[in-house]
Structure 1
Amino acid sequence: MEQRIVVMLAAITALVLFIIVMVAVSFYFYHVAIARADKEFLAENPDLAANADVENPFADSKDWWSAQSFENWSLIADDGLKLHAYYLPAKKATNQTVLLAHGYAGRSEQMSSFAQMYYEDLGFNVLLPDARGHGLSEGDYIGFGWPERKDVVKWIQRIVERTGEEAQIVLHGVSMGAATVMMTSGEELPSQVKAIVADCGYTSVADELTYQLKRMYKLPSFPILQSTSCLTKLRAGYSFQEASALKQVKKSKTPILFIHGGGDLFVPTEMVYRLYENGPAEKRLFVVPGAGHGLARQFDPEGYDREVTEFIGTYVREENKRAAMVR
């Protein structure tokens, strides 16, 4: 009898210790991945290192950014957060606007080279939101694109209000920004959204974090992913399993250009093939051989810009271009 009691107490103690450890581990990974904080681990990650042999052709984009006169926009998200965006009206009035979505732990300024392309070469208005938990936007957590998808829908509404009912809108995102616009694609979008460009986005938050737990920490996903997901649901309102770009592109009615680097080890290249296979009827795939994460345009600037220009040109019609109703 006493032996059975001892065994039972040992089992209960082990269970309690396991729960305590998992709670501690969950809070640790929540702080590392989800909480708004400096992500120092990114700077040391070799999978994000730029190729020293490839010159950055967009080094002057920061100077271009500094020379622009941006408007500061804001809106209140569905959960009450105040979100910020920069808006740059085109030199010549137009109903064509691109919304540029930045990556994880980034900010809108990091999309300056893309903004310069759309503004200078294509004559678009440019909207650059700071995602919740980033830049000048409020929020104490990162949503990996899932809550942000609803924020993007509200920014789309603002663009239509500004440029009129005949607005033609392109969504272009990189990394987490790509996941954001893909997750947005599965929502009921207004007819003004004509095309989406998704550059190096992941299939789902669960897939990406499973991959990173193994690659960065040499750890299995179970039970860490599940426990951290539960904590994220409690604190940030979403779970890793529901935050799926793959499921959203299956529902998308908007044409999507999928772009990825063939040498991407941070968001593995195989993900883009799954996304493309499950994407909408109108889609295109552009993989740049050897390019690391977020470096497809740096590796092949001419090819990248050509693919983007040709793709969006199929759906954004020049003959529909007109002066914006409100400036």
Structure 2
Amino acid sequence: MLHIVHAPAFIALIILIVICGIAVIAIGIMAGGELCRPAQRSVGSPPADLPVETFTLQSPPNETSELVVSGWLIRGAPGMGVVLLLHGLRNDRRQMLDRVRFLVRAGYSVMLIDLPAHGESSGEYITFGYREAEGVEAAMRNLVESFPHEKIAVIGVSLGAASLVLSKASPAPSAVVLESMYPTIEEAIARRLQKRLGPLGSLLTPLFLWQLPIRLGVTADRLRPITNLAALHSPVFIMSGSEDLHPTVAETQCLFESANSPKELWIVEGAAHINLHAHNPKEYEARVSAFLQKYLRDGG
């Protein structure tokens, strides 16, 4: 006859496992909500030392939901080119102000926007490039209409870079600078969960990815900048820090290999996932200025 031994202990173990499972799911859901939480805020008045025009753009009526994009525009010398600046995750247009100043000195017209769900732009959730790409498309449409005879470049940082690559902006920019861009949503989420929850945080990545269609209406396969990069037919300058963990140097190398030519790569020595312009302003400005000069003014 089979006897069940220590039944109370076995039941207690099952209960403990169930409780732990529920706790993990709850933590994953809360972490997912935190990662998607919008980063909207007032950006205040524009800098007094720049001739800034404040504007808002609206998405066309035929898109799924209305989107309002807020930003600043500084007009440069005619015929010198236009640069669109796209900030990183949980930041706003002000993150790009130091870049604005050296570009304005060089004669470029410059547009800065708040990506959807950031700064003063509308948006219910951060979507890791999905809805943010619509903000990029709205900005590009406006620039093409407002500066019909100018070549347009885009400089995107992290989420801003991914949003550009995931967008369907047409025509393609004449030059693109991609800073610290994640290759896939899987890597991006795993690194951020590790940062927030410690080394084991990445174990919650599958749970977060499962939430994407429910929370954001998009699946992980549509949030892979490395895949879209191959379809971008613009000269591209890819850069990232040598100490950056999201993306790593190896991931940045993979992005570079996926990009079409002409292309350039700069691994910024000693930089982590930080403002690469602030890390080495002199070299950053020299390299980016040469790249923009080549494709916006010298004819590539």
TM-score, structure 1 normalization: 0.77
In the other structure, the counterpart of 2:261 is 281
Alpha-carbon deviation of 1:168?
0.9
What is the alpha-carbon distance in structure 2 between the residues aligned to residue 64 and residue 72 of structure 1? 12
- In the alignment, structure 2 segments of 5+ residues that lack a partner are none
Structural mapping, 1:149-160, within 5 Å: 149-160=133-144
- In the alignment, structure 1 segments of 5+ residues that lack a partner are 39-61, 321-327
SS in 2 for 1:119: helix
Maintained 8 Å contact 2:86/2:161: yes
CA deviation map 1:177-211 (0-9, x unaligned): 22222333xx46315x1010011111122112113
After superposing the two structures, state which structure 1 stretch, 26-35 or 207-216, moved more. Answer: 207-216
1:107 to 92, 106, 114: 92
What is the alpha-carbon distance in structure 2 between the residues aligned to residue 93 and residue 22 of structure 1? 57
2:183 to 194, 203, 221: 203
What is the alpha-carbon distance in structure 2 between the residues aligned to residue 95 and residue 70 of structure 1? 18
What is the alpha-carbon distance in structure 2 between the residues aligned to residue 178 and residue 319 of structure 1? 24
SS in 1 for 2:205: helix
What is the alpha-carbon distance in structure 2 between the residues aligned to residue 147 and residue 209 of structure 1? 17
SS in 1 for 2:82: strand
In the other structure, the counterpart of 1:301 is 281
What is the alpha-carbon distance in structure 2 between the residues aligned to residue 139 and residue 262 of structure 1? 33
What is the alpha-carbon distance in structure 1 between the residues aligned to residue 165 and residue 205 of structure 2? 22
2:170 to 180, 183, 189: 189
What is the alpha-carbon distance in structure 2 between the residues aligned to residue 225 and residue 241 of structure 1? 14
> For residue 262 of structure 1, what is the amino acid of its counterpart?
S
In the other structure, the counterpart of 1:83 is 69
What is the alpha-carbon distance in structure 1 between the residues aligned to residue 134 and residue 45 of structure 2? 32
In the other structure, the counterpart of 1:66 is 48
Maintained 8 Å contact 1:145/1:243: yes
Maintained 8 Å contact 1:174/1:200: yes
Maintained 8 Å contact 1:31/1:37: no
Alpha-carbon deviation of 1:103?
0.8
What is the alpha-carbon distance in structure 2 between the residues aligned to residue 229 and residue 12 of structure 1? 27
SS in 1 for 2:174: strand
After superposing the two structures, state which structure 1 stretch, 19-28 or 97-106, moved more. Answer: 19-28
Shift in alpha-carbon separation, 1:302–1:286, aligned structure 2, 3 A? same
Maintained 8 Å contact 2:190/2:201: yes
Alpha-carbon deviation of 1:253?
1.0
> For residue 31 of structure 1, what is the amino acid of its counterpart?
G
SS in 2 for 1:219: helix
Alpha-carbon deviation of 1:312?
2.0
Alpha-carbon deviation of 1:104?
0.8
Maintained 8 Å contact 2:184/2:223: yes
Maintained 8 Å contact 2:240/2:249: yes
Shift in alpha-carbon separation, 1:37–1:177, aligned structure 2, 3 A? closer
Matched, 1:237 2:220: no
SS in 1 for 2:186: helix
Shift in alpha-carbon separation, 1:167–1:18, aligned structure 2, 3 A? farther
Percent identity for Structure 1 against Structure 2: 22
Shift in alpha-carbon separation, 1:238–1:22, aligned structure 2, 3 A? farther
Choose between structure 1 and 2 for higher RCO, CA contacts under 8 A separated by at least 6 residues. Answer: 1
What is the alpha-carbon distance in structure 2 between the residues aligned to residue 176 and residue 106 of structure 1? 10
Maintained 8 Å contact 2:29/2:208: yes
Maintained 8 Å contact 1:259/1:286: yes
1:259 to 213, 216, 239: 239
Maintained 8 Å contact 2:69/2:120: yes
Alpha-carbon deviation of 1:19?
6.4
What is the alpha-carbon distance in structure 1 between the residues aligned to residue 259 and residue 180 of structure 2? 15
Shift in alpha-carbon separation, 1:37–1:317, aligned structure 2, 3 A? closer
What is the alpha-carbon distance in structure 1 between the residues aligned to residue 96 and residue 285 of structure 2? 14
What is the alpha-carbon distance in structure 2 between the residues aligned to residue 117 and residue 130 of structure 1? 20
Coordinate RMSD, CA, aligned: 3.1
What is the alpha-carbon distance in structure 2 between the residues aligned to residue 125 and residue 278 of structure 1? 30
> For residue 305 of structure 1, what is the amino acid of its counterpart?
E
SS in 2 for 1:137: coil
In the other structure, the counterpart of 1:168 is 151
TM-score, structure 2 normalization: 0.83
Q: How many residues align?
A: 288
Matched, 1:138 2:138: no
